[in-house]
Amino acid sequence: MRTPPWLTVLDDTIAACIAHHRADLAGKLERRRALLLDPKLRVPVIGELNQGKSQLVNALVNAPVCAVGDDATTTIPTTVEHAETPTASVVADVPVTGRRAIGPAGAEPARVAVPFAEVATKALVTRRTDVHTEVGVPRELLAGGLVLIDTPGLGGGPVRTAATFAALANADAVLVISDATHELRPAELDLIRQVVALCPTVTVVLTKIDMVPRWRRVADRNRARLAAAGLDVELVAVSASVRLAAARTGDQDLNRESGFVELVAALRRDVLGQGEALASRCTAALAAMVTRQLLEPLREQLAQARGGTLGAAQVQYRAAQGHLDELRKRSGRWQTMLGDEVADLMSDVEYDLRERTRQIIRTAEEFFEVADPARTWDEFADWLRESLADTAEANFAWLVERFQWVSEKIARQVALEESIPDASAAEDLFEHIGDLRAPRVEKFTVGQQLFVGLRGSYGGLLMFGLATTLAGMPLINPISIGAGAAFGAKSVWDERGSRLKRRQATAKSAAQRHVDDFFLSYGKESRDTARLIQRRLRDHFSSVVERVQAGIAERAVEAKRAAEADLADRRRRTQEIAAEVDKLVGLDKRIQALTSPTPRPGLTA
C-alpha cells in the first residue's frame, strides 16, 4: 500500500521534533500517529456542564449507555463503539508516561465487565477518576468504526477537564455541545477555537431545542457568532428527548423533528469513511501547531542573532573605546592645568616670601633706630635667624600645601584613584639662613677718647688763650685751660654720638644684606623645589595615565577581539538558525499542502 502523504509529513514532523530536542512533542505526535493509523474514528462529545452531552450520545445510539441527570452527572468518559452483542466494562486508564505510546506494546489495561443494563449507573457510582467505561452496542451507525466518547462537562473541576482534554487529544472529529437556552458564550467560543486548533473537523450541536421556543433565532445568532469569530464550523440543532420519544413510540415524524436525521447524515458524510481525509486534516492541524511551537523560539533566536541587541563583548568593546577617548582628552587638559597651577603657585610663593622678608627688614630697621648694635647685636642676630627660619618654614609649608592641593586637583581631573606623590621634599631649610656676619663695630677706646678730647681742648685753649693774651694774660691761664677742658669734653661727646650713628647704619645694612642673601638663596631653592615637585608630579601623572591607558587599550583590544569572535559566531549561528527555520517552513508548506489541494471537505461540504 502506498504511504499516504499525511503519514510522511507526520513522520517528518516527528523527526524535526527530535532534531530540536523536543521529545515531549515527538511523544505526543507518536501517540497520535498510532491512533490515526487505527481504523477507528474517535469522536468526543464535549461541552460545558449540563448541556446534554450524555443524552445526545444516548439518543444517537438509542440506548441508555451514558448516565444522565439533572445535576452535573458525568464524571468519567464513556466510549461507545460497535459490537455484535451489547457489552460494557469499566476500564482503568493507562497512565501516559513519557514517550511510550499506548498500543499493542503496553499491557492490556485492567478491565472489569459490567452488565450492559447497569453501565450507566455503574459509571455514576464510581468515585474513581482514573477509569473510563467502554460500551459496545450493535448499531449500524457505529459499524464503520465510529467511536463516540462522552466526556465530563467543562467547568466542573480540573480533574474532569483534564479527562475531557485527553479525549480531545485523540479525536478524529469533535462534536461541541451547547444548549439552546443561551447563545454561545465567550468561553464556549474559546473552547471551539482550541478544539479547531487540535482537530479541525468540528460540528457544533445545539441541544434541547424542544424546550426553547425561539431556538431558531438562537441557532442563527450562534452561526453569526461563529462566523464573526472566524470559525468555519457547521451547527446542527437537535433535541435528544424528542429523538428518544420517537424511538419509544416509533414515530418517524418525531424523529425528523428531533434534528437527529441531519446530525447522523452529517456524521456519515463527514466522518464515516473519511478516515484518510480526517487523518490528513488532523495531522495538518497538529503538525502545524507543533512546527509553530518549534519555529517560535528559533525565530526569536534569529531575531536576536540578527542584532536586535548587542552582544556582551561588543558592549564591552564600546565601553573601553569610550573610556580611552575620554582619558586622552583629559590628559591634554591636565598637563596645561599643571603648568598653569605651578606658575600661579610660584608667583604666589615668591610674593609671600618677599612680603615676609620685607617685614623682617622693616622690623630690623626700626629696632636699630634706637638700639646700639654694639651692645644688642647678639640678641638681634638670634632674633633675625629665628624670624628667617620661621619665614622659610611657613613659606615652604604653604608651598607644600599648595602642591598637595594642585596634585589633588589634577588627580580629580584625571579621575583616577591613584596615590598622590608626596610633595614635601624635606629640604634643609635652615642652610639658606647661613651665618649672620657681625658688622664691624668701631670701639671708642680710652686713648681715642683722650685723643679726641685733647684735640677738642686744644682748639678751646688756643682760642681763649689768644683772646686772653690781649688782656695781657699769658696764653695759658685758668680761663683758657677751663675753655680747653670744656671744648675737649664736647668733642668727646660729639664723637661718641656720631660713632653710634655709624654703627647703627652699618648694622642696618648688614641685616638687610643678610636678609637679601637669604631671600636670594632661599627663593632660588624654593623655585627649584617647586620645579622639582612639578616635574615629579608630571612624571607621576604621566606614568599613571600611561599605565591606565595601556590597561584600557589592552582591554579594548581584547574586547574587540571578543566582539569580532562573537560577531562571527553569531553570523554562523544566524545562518544555522535560518537554515533550520527554512527547513521547518518547508515542512510547514507541505503540511498546508495536505489540506489545500482539495477544497476543505468541511462538514458544510
Partner 1 sequence: MTLAGRVRSMLVEALELYRDSPRATNWLRRHVDRLDEPLRVAVVGLASTGRSTLVNALVGEEIAPLLVEDGGQVLTWYRAGRSPRAQLYPTQAPPRDVPAAKVDHQLHIDLEGWQAQNLDRIVVDWPNRVLRDSTLIDTPALESTPDVGSRVSMDADAVLYLMRHLHETDLGFLRSIQDHPIARETPVNALVVLSRADEVGGGRIDALTSARRIARRYRGDPALASLCQNVVAVSGLLAATGATMTAEEFDALRELAAAPRQDLESCLFSTDRFAGESAPVRVDARTRVALLDRFGLFGVRLATTLVRQGHASAGDLATDLVARSGVLELRESLAQCFTDRHDVLKARSALLAMEVVLRREPRPAARALVDALEGVVTSAHEFRELRLLAALHGGRTTLPDPLAGEARRLVGGNGTALPARLGLVGEPSGQELHGAVADALLRWREQAENHALGHGQRRAARVVVRSCEGMYTRLSRY
Q: Which residues bind partner 1 (CB under 8 A)?
A: 48-50, 52, 55, 69-72, 155-157, 181-183, 185-187, 208-213, 215, 239, 241-242, 245, 254, 257
**Cβ 363 vs Cβ 511: under 8 Å:** no
Residue 251 or 372: which CB sits closer to partner 1?
A: 251
Residue 209 or 388: which CB sits closer to partner 1?
A: 209
Segment (H or E) for 146: strand 146-150
Residue 241 or 304: which CB sits closer to partner 1?
A: 241
Q: How far is the CB of 69 from partner 1 (least distance, A)?
A: 8
Per residue, the 3-state secondary structure of 216-241, as one string, reads HHHHHHHHHHHHHCCCCCEEEECCHH
Residue 55 or 274: which CB sits closer to partner 1?
A: 55
Contacts of 397 by beta carbon, 8 Å cutoff, 6+ apart? none
Identify the burial level of 86 via C-beta atoms within 10 angstroms of its C-beta, where 0-12 means exposed, 13-18 middle and 19 or more buried: middle
Contacts of 98 by beta carbon, 8 Å cutoff, 6+ apart? 27
Phi, psi dihedrals of residue 573, rounded to the nearest 5°:
-65, -40
d(CA 280, CA 8): 11
Crossing angle (nearest 10°) for helices 275-303 and 23-37: 170
d(CA 166, CA 163): 5
How big is the CA angle at 100 (ends 98 and 102), to the nearest 5 degrees?
Answer: 125
Residue 182 or 375: which CB sits closer to partner 1?
A: 182
**Cβ 157 vs Cβ 110: under 8 Å:** no
d(CA 33, CA 14): 10
Q: Read off the C-alpha cell for 345.
A: 603657585
DSSP assignment, residue 598?
Answer: S
Question: Of 69, 164, 55, nearest to 125 (Cα)?
Answer: 69
Segment (H or E) for 179: strand 174-179
Residue 241 or 592: which CB sits closer to partner 1?
A: 241
**Cβ 313 vs Cβ 36: under 8 Å:** no
Q: How far is the CB of 268 from partner 1 (least distance, A)?
A: 24
Q: How far is the CB of 49 from partner 1 (least distance, A)?
A: 5
Phi, psi dihedrals of residue 237, rounded to the nearest 5°:
-100, 130
Q: How far is the CB of 162 from partner 1 (least distance, A)?
A: 13
**Sign of the alpha-carbon torsion through 368, 374, 375, 379:** positive
Q: How far is the CB of 190 from partner 1 (least distance, A)?
A: 11
Residue 50 or 391: which CB sits closer to partner 1?
A: 50
Q: How far is the CB of 223 from partner 1 (least distance, A)?
A: 17
Q: How far is the CB of 161 from partner 1 (least distance, A)?
A: 9
Q: How far is the CB of 315 from partner 1 (least distance, A)?
A: 43
Residue 144 or 156: which CB sits closer to partner 1?
A: 156
Q: How far is the CB of 156 from partner 1 (least distance, A)?
A: 7
Q: How far is the CB of 85 from partner 1 (least distance, A)?
A: 31
Residue 183 or 365: which CB sits closer to partner 1?
A: 183
**Cβ 192 vs Cβ 202: under 8 Å:** yes
Q: How far is the CB of 288 from partner 1 (least distance, A)?
A: 30
Q: How far is the CB of 241 from partner 1 (least distance, A)?
A: 5
**Cβ 109 vs Cβ 85: under 8 Å:** no
Residue 156 or 601: which CB sits closer to partner 1?
A: 156
Integer-rounded Cα radius of gyration of the chain: 60
Residue 59 or 559: which CB sits closer to partner 1?
A: 59
Q: How far is the CB of 257 from partner 1 (least distance, A)?
A: 6
Residue 69 or 478: which CB sits closer to partner 1?
A: 69
Residue 72 or 562: which CB sits closer to partner 1?
A: 72
Per residue, the 3-state secondary structure of 252-305, as one string, reads HHHHHHHCHHHHHHHHHHHCCCCHHHHHHHHHHHHHHHHHHHHHHHHHHHHHHH
Residue 254 or 441: which CB sits closer to partner 1?
A: 254
**Secondary structure (DSSP) of 494-511:** HHHHHHHHHHHHHHHHHH
Q: How far is the CB of 92 from partner 1 (least distance, A)?
A: 27
| 203 bridge partner residues | 175, 234
